Structure 1
Amino acid sequence: APTVWAQNDAPDLRALAKKTRPAVYLLVLQDEDGKTIAAGTGFLISGEGLLVTNQHVIAEAHTIIAKAENGGLFPIRRVVASDSRNDLALLQLEGKDLPFLSLAPDFSAEVGTRVAIIGSPLGLEGTLTEGIVSARRRLPKENRDVLQISAPISKGSSGSPVLDSQGRVIGVASFLLQDGQSLNFASPSEKLRRLLNANSLTPNSPLPT
């Protein structure tokens, strides 16, 4: 697929956003009374409505509504699978023939790789930020491998796709630590692929370019 990064390695963010934004959703989380209790982000990896987000985003929700870039609202039918250690969840969205993102090859996110995140910080859907992969880290306490990224993750951005220069998913934005500076972390895409394989699921082939 052609890169949407310019030859000098400066990101063409307009092209990246135009290509990927239709596959990214604002998730509105509601309690049993239909009251909105939180918001997050998710993205499709299948035209048939297989949506990825963080497990912690959906943990307290009774009902989940996915809002598309064009304002369309899609109910979440069910939780297909989840991985609490790596903070990943797969949801089934009610829809067909929808735009979706493809996964980057496993372990392609090297230190220094330029990345972009499309998310919904504070409910502002479709917000794009950029950065690099700062490190690949092992969190021994959580027994978890993560990507440390310089692109900011804020409230509502949890579950956002972390994208490479071709708009492929190299990670899922997960959490930040405030320790003098903001440290942002994502679950690498190989953990998502492992969750898919464990449930006999395969993401669709890449979006046409």
Structure 2
Amino acid sequence: MNARRGTHLLVGLATGLCVVALAGCGSLPPRPEPVPTSLDVASSRDDVASSAGALSPDGFDAAQRMAVRIRNVGCGSLSTGSGFAIDDHTLVTNRHVVADSAALEISTYDGRDVRARAASTAALADLAFVRTVEALPAYAGLAPLDPMPGSSVTVVGYPRGSRLAMTSGTVIGATTDPLHENLGEVLVTDAQVDLGSSGSPVLDADGRVVGVVYAKGKDGASFVVPVSTLRAMLDDETQVSAAPTCSG
């Protein structure tokens, strides 16, 4: 799911940086600037918790350290999205963030590059899992249940492939996925997201993951794969397979 496959209601949130209309792999633009190691915070509610654990010596908390920027280098195209760690060597993101890649480049909150070992995608949800070579700085716990309407949430990611950002809002409710990329219902929140936010974790007030951002509505609402779907994909290996690459 990306901007080209969206509808008038939704736009995908993997940011396309360049498309080279050539047969085979064309020349690509240079790498974007390193991930800025500071933080933007935009809260629509003052009472939303933005952390999950103690601060590290550099002033970042666990919720911020677990988020990564993912750069998809395709055959003649570049795009960026976000993701987050769920253990020392596993990232969660969206299927459309990693699909059709020649290589995945991962950057952490402190600007460190982490190599991807393998990526897999879910068949019934816009979710993907990336295994890394190096250990990740921090990882998230998953909430046991989906959030109820009215629950406060925080989104942590890399909108526009740039600075790490945190935005907060409220769960509005649930709806059938308008893009038909997910089995069952998805969540709707009023937390602000932007291109490049695909794959960002949605956290509850205790810093636990309650969903994964995958799209933005025309009215500014954000659409989220709920944690119940994420848990179902993690519990059933038959639901995932190797991520498609641009070369075959």
Residue in structure 1 matching 2:84, options 43, 64, 74: 43
Residues 9/105 of structure 1: CA separation in 2 closer, same or farther (3 Å cut): farther
How far the C-alpha of 1:84 sits from its partner, in A, is 4.1
The answer to whether the 8 Å contact 1:82/1:195 transfers is no
CA RMSD after TM alignment: 2.3
1:198 and 2:236 are equivalent in the alignment: yes
Quote the sequence identity (%).
28
What is the 5 A alignment of 1:109-148? 109-139=147-177, 142=180, 143-148=183-188
Tell me the residue number matched to 1:76: 116
Q: TM-score, normalised by structure 1?
A: 0.81
Residues 141/64 of structure 1: CA separation in 2 closer, same or farther (3 Å cut): closer
The answer to whether the 8 Å contact 2:175/2:187 transfers is yes
Moved more, 50-59 or 96-105: 96-105
Deviation readout 1:57-115 (Å, 9 max, x if unpaired): 11122100110011110111111x322432000110112364100100123x0000000
Q: TM-score, normalised by structure 2?
A: 0.69
Secondary structure in structure 2 of the residue aligned to 1:187: strand
Q: Which consecutive residues of structure 1, in runs of 5 or more, have no partner in the other structure?
A: 1-7, 201-209
The answer to whether the 8 Å contact 1:28/1:36 transfers is no
What is the 5 A alignment of 1:160-199? 160-178=200-218, 181-199=219-237
Q: Give me the whole-angstrom Cα distance separating, in 1, the residues matched to 2:85 and 2:223.
A: 20
Residue in structure 1 matching 2:70, options 15, 19, 27: 27
Secondary structure in structure 1 of the residue aligned to 2:220: strand
Aligned residue pair count = 186
Q: Give me the whole-angstrom Cα distance separating, in 2, the residues matched to 1:170 and 1:138.
A: 17
Higher relative contact order by CA 8 Å / sep ≥ 6: 1 or 2? 2
